[in-house]
């Protein structure tokens, strides 16, 4: 059954979904008039709305068959580290934290997200597991100091405005005892094509994680780009099963960097 909120998200204008109208309007403004709209300073309402449909949207589209490559990169990094607890900053409906718990069953695993709709869907997806999730903002985490050995994010901090990113990284340092892992967007380490495509997306923000952490006296112990894992991704994609049913397609290995910070 489609709820009122879901119907609102998929609302159409002359047969075209409103979120596509929004995208094409921004594309025309930039490419025809040279106007680039500012990035969203707060995305809570955006994810409250999209959160109603996000879980079903990406599960049914074949997106996760490609995105799991980056999840695998995270697990490969975790296998090289000693830890007994880990949490995801921006856990959404729980896709990553459920996988981490399956890969490391002895670890205490948690997550936080500021979207109530995403967390509501996590109750179904996590299926009453012992994974603790909490509602909270990455810039003001409702977690104790040194609450987890490791904190990580995958494609979440790219939704944090530049004016707030330092606060979010400081919170990661406060909450984590040992390591921080980010798999995120950094336009300094992508292709010109993707940089141009994402420049008009007001919900996607690029951050220079190396510089930001170094300003706090923390240097990355690992830093990988699509130059390091691009070939492995293409091999993974060639073996992916199921059709990708997304209007924008899948952006590929250049969408993320991998950075690991040792903080003790």
- What's the pLDDT tens digit per position in 43-66? 999 899 889 889 998 999 899 999
Q: Say whether pLDDT at 6 is over 60.
A: no
What are the tens digits of pLDDT across the range 220-246? 999 999 999 999 999 999 988 778 887
Domain architecture of the chain: domains with CATH: 38-262 (3.40.50.150)
Model pLDDT, residue 13:
54
State the average pLDDT over residues 206-219.
Answer: 97
d(CA 70, CA 230): 11
Model pLDDT, residue 64:
93
d(CA 105, CA 89): 19
Percent of the chain with pLDDT over 70: 92
What are the tens digits of pLDDT across the range 99-118? 999 999 999 999 999 999 99
Please tell me the least confidently modeled range out of 86-95, 145-154, 208-217, 246-255: 246-255
User: 3-class SS at 261?
Assistant: strand
What is the pTM for the complete model shown?
A: 0.91
Q: What is the 3-state secondary structure (H, E, C) of 69-86?
A: HHHHHHHHHHHCCCCCEE
User: 3-class SS at 191?
Assistant: coil
- Using pLDDT thresholds of 50, 70 and 90, give the confidence band for residue 212: very high
């Amino acid at each position: 059954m489609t709820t009122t909120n879901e119907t609102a998200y998929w609302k159409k204008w002359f047969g075209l979904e409103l979120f596509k109208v929004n995208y094409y309007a921004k594309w025309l403004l930039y490419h025809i008039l040279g106007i680039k709209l500012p990035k969203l300073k707060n995305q809570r309402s955006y994810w409250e709305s999209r959160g109603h449909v996000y879980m079903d949207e990406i599960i049914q589209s074949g997106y996760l068959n490609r995105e799991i490559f980056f999840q695998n990169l995270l697990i490969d990094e975790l296998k090289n580290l000693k830890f007994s607890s880990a949490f995801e900053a921006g856990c959404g409906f729980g896709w990553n934290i459920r996988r981490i718990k399956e890969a490391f069953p002895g670890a205490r695993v948690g997550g936080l997200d500021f979207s109530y709709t995403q967390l509501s869907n996590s109750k179904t997806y996590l299926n009453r597991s012992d994974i603790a999730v909490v509602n909270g903002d990455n810039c003001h985490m409702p977690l104790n100091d040194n609450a987890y050995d490791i904190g990580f994010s995958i494609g979440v901090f790219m939704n944090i405005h530049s004016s707030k990113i330092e606060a979010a990284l400081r919170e990661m340092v406060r909450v984590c005892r040992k390591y921080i892992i980010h798999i995120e967007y950094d336009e300094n380490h992508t292709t010109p094509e993707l940089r141009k495509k994402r420049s008009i997306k007001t919900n996607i923000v690029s951050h220079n994680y190396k510089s930001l952490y170094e300003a706090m006296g923390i240097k990355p112990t690992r830093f990988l780009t699509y130059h390091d894992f691009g070939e492995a991704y293409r091999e993974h994609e060639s073996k992916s099963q199921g059709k990708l049913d997304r209007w924008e397609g899948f952006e590929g290995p250049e969408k993320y960097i991998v950075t690991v910070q040792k903080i003790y």
